[in-house]
Amino acid sequence: MENMSFVVLMMYVVGNLIFSSKQKHLLIILLSLEFIVLSLFFLMLLYLSCLDNNMYMLMVYLVFSVCEGALGLSILVSMIRTHGNDYFQSFNLL
């Protein structure tokens, strides 16, 4: 059980390292956010299974993470339609 928690924490750290490094593409950032969400889901699954609790909170978490993923993909599609690519350097944020 402790090995699984170590693997999940390493997944979280790797996801944060990818997110915090300066990336050029929005798609890579969205994938790293989904990786962080997946690692937090596994961490909650391990925690709730150790306590023998209900798993309803996991279903709510999955619903919110799917909504977050759909919102990120819609932003990506609108950015590609308006600017032609997903580079951060191709448009001015100000």
Nearest to 40 by CA among 66, 65, 68: 65
pLDDT for the residue numbered 94: 45
- 47 lies in which domain range? 2-90
Number of folded domains in the chain?
1
Q: One digit per residue, pLDDT tens: the chain, 94 residues?
A: 678 888 888 999 999 998 888 778 888 888 999 999 999 999 988 888 888 778 888 899 999 999 999 998 998 888 888 878 777 666 665 4
The 10 Å Cβ neighbour count of residue 32 is 19
28 phi and psi, to 5 degrees?
-65, -40
Q: Give residue 90's pLDDT.
A: 62
Chain centroid, CA 84 distance in Å: 24
pLDDT value for 54: 80
Q: CATH number for the domain including 18? A: 1.10.287.3510
35 in Cβ contact with 15 (< 8 Å) = yes
